[in-house]
Amino acid sequence: MNIGVPHEVMIGEARVALTPMACQTLVDAGHKVYVQRDAGTDSGYADAEYSEIGTNLVDDAEQLYQAASLIVKVKQPLESDLRYLRDDHILFSYLHLAADIELIHKMSDIGLTAIPFESVSDEHGAYPLLAPMSQVAGRIAAIRGASLLFRNRGGRGVLLGGIDGAVDGQVVVIGAGVAGSHAAAAAAELGAQVDVLDLKQDKLDALKRQYPAISTHISSAELIEELCLQADLVVGAVLVAGRRAPVILKQSVISRMNPGSVIVDISIDQGGCVEGIRTTTSEELCYVDSGVILSAVPNMPAAVARTSSQALSSAILPYVVELAGCSAEALANFPEHCEEKVQALYRARALYRGELVDEVLQQEVDSASSQSTG
Ligand SMILES: NC(=O)c1ccc[n+]([C@@H]2O[C@H](COP(=O)([O-])OP(=O)(O)OC[C@H]3O[C@@H](n4cnc5c(N)ncnc54)[C@H](O)[C@@H]3O)[C@@H](O)[C@H]2O)c1
């Protein structure tokens, strides 16, 4: 299989999907790997590290997409990628399509096959390709929130905790999954008083077992309002797999929050869980609305590109190996006799040769089109 690793083009994106070490595995397995020049530079991987192990360096995106049939990248394709994608391409990357219905239509028109990283689930119902980046984003949310609370960043001048004679910072985390747990753990380690809300008791119990000092609660609109009105930092980290994020923090609450308090919406890649929130970038991290600082960067892990590239590359490599090795039929009909990872890739397909095959996504498309016509 000819595998292509493009240079990422999203603002602030610095990750590379496959490190040289991961490419080595693919080259050793007999695949041709094409890497766009500078794809790994911002993660600290020089072109020479790729060429030394027998990958083919190509100068630009056009050559990369032309040479490869399996495209492995970090973030969803933008216009500069879309123009080179073809109907025989298999695209394997984060896509977050429930938040970008237009992209579904564009990829469907091209006729390609798309498998979102975030849709690949394992036999335990976990999402092994989303988890490492959620861990990173959770940790960053606490650190970023803590620094935006500094007075010189416009915050309310609160240090999250651990100071004798001063009140600890109050942190509210909505969602006790992978991102939320890591945000809560990092905030607790900084000394803050942390409250975590989720709809699932088992998620809250697991977190409480690990961090007894964290307060956990079954989520309700009333409790979110009560806790957020006292909070210094609120982190949104909810997910309903495959769907647009539910709006759980309302404008009517935000407008009454403490001036200079901070909201970090990790769920922005799925459309955001904070009412009316706008996407921000690594260059313009936040904005102020009703005196509250809001940050909603859809590629937070890019801030620590080297760590994130290593974690992402190790997580996806076993799936890239299977994808590169499996026959075209394995993605056409359920591959009953193939190993679990190939079946997981089949189940994760969003588009197959231009046809939208993810039923949950189809419902999201239908609901978006009924809202626009209604
Ligand atoms: N911005 C970024 O750079 C970035 C990076 C990684 C992950 N993410 C996003 O972070 C989000 C969380 O990912 P995750 O891996 O932690 O997911 P997860 O499935 O592990 O956790 C999500 C949690 O949200 C809870 N939840 C769902 N609806 C809820 C509601 N109405 N109220 C309270 N809790 C609710 C679920 O029960 C679950 O425990 C996803 O949208 C993911 O795409 C963003």
Q: How far apart are CA 311 and CA 175, in angstroms?
A: 22
* Residue in the structure block whose two tokens are 């809300």: 197
Name the percent of the chain lying above pLDDT 90: 94
- What number is the average pLDDT over the span 225-248? 97
Token look-up 């040289």 returns: 20
Asked about 7 being catalytic, the answer comes back as no
Segment 19-28 mean pLDDT: 98
Question: pLDDT at position 338, please?
Answer: 86
pLDDT of residue 370: 85
**Alpha-carbon torsion (269, 274, 276, 282), positive or negative:** negative
The CA-atom distances, in angstroms, between 83 and each of 17, 80, 366, 367 are 20, 6, 26, 28
Categorize the per-residue pLDDT at 374 as very low, low, confident or very high, splitting at 50, 70 and 90.
Answer: low
Instruction: Report domain extents, the chain.
Output: 2-127+305-373, 131-297
Rg (CA), the chain: 21
Q: Is any atom of ligand 1 closer than 6 Å to the C-beta of 220?
A: no
Domains 2-127+305-373 and 131-297 share a fold: yes
Nearest to 261 by CA among 306, 215, 309, 227: 227
Tell me the pLDDT of the chain averaged across its residues.
96
Q: Is 174 in the pocket of ligand 1 (CB under 6 A)?
A: yes
Residue 302 Cα: closest atom of ligand 1: 3
Q: What is the pLDDT of residue 86?
A: 97
* CB distance 40 to 47 below 8 Å: yes
Identity of the amino acid at 243 = R
pLDDT digits (tens, 9 = 90+) for 172-197: 999 999 999 999 999 999 999 999 99
Catalytic residue of the set 96, 198, 232, 265: 96
Å from CA of 103 to ligand 1 middle = 22
pTM confidence score = 0.96
Q: Which amino acid is at 321?
A: V
Helical H segments across the chain, by residue range: 20-28, 47-51, 61-67, 79-82, 101-110, 131-148, 178-189, 201-210, 221-230, 251-254, 305-325, 340-348, 359-373
> Would you tell me how many other CB atoms lie within 10 Å of the CB of residue 186?
23
The arithmetic mean of pLDDT across residues 246-263, rounded, is 98
| Distance, CA of 67 to CA of 60 (rounded, Å) | 11
Reported as a pLDDT band with limits 50, 70 and 90, residue 330 is: confident
User: Each residue of 91-135: pLDDT tens digit?
Assistant: 999 999 999 999 999 999 999 999 999 999 998 999 999 999 999
Query: What is the mean pLDDT of the segment spanning 149-154?
Result: 96
Report which protein residue has its CA nearest ligand 1's atom 34.
198
Sheet containing 32-36: give its strands across.
56-58, 32-36, 2-5, 70-72, 90-93, 113-116, 351-352, 355-356
Kindly indicate the confidence band of residue 371, based on its pLDDT and cuts at 50, 70 and 90.
Answer: confident
Burial label for 372, CB within 10 Å (0-12, 13-18, 19+), is exposed
> What CATH superfamily is the domain 2-127+305-373?
NAD(P)-binding Rossmann-like Domain (3.40.50.720)
Task: List the residue whose alpha carbon is closest to atom 7 of ligand 1.
Answer: 134
Q: What is the pLDDT of residues 53-85, one digit of tens each?
A: 999 999 999 999 999 999 999 999 999 999 999
Read off the pLDDT of residues 331-369 as tens digits, 9 standing for 90 and up. Answer: 998 988 888 999 999 999 999 999 999 999 999 999 988
Q: Cα separation of 314 and 117, whole Å?
A: 13
**CB of 175 shorter than 6 A to ligand 1:** yes
CA–CA dist 13, 181 (Å, integer): 24
Atom index in ligand 1 nearest the CA of residue 94 equals: 43
Residue 264 — left, alpha, or beta (φ > 0 → left; ψ -120 to 50 → alpha)? beta
Distance from the alpha carbon of residue 124 to the mean position of ligand 1, in angstroms: 17
C-beta 236 within 6 A of ligand 1: no
* CA 128/CA 117 separation, integer angstroms: 9
Domain 131-297 carries which CATH code? Answer: 3.40.50.720
Closest by Cα among 172, 175, 170 to 239: 175
Share of the chain above pLDDT 70, in %: 99
Task: Identify which has the larger pLDDT, 326 or 274.
Answer: 274
CA distance 191 to 204: 20
Rounded average pLDDT over 10-30: 97
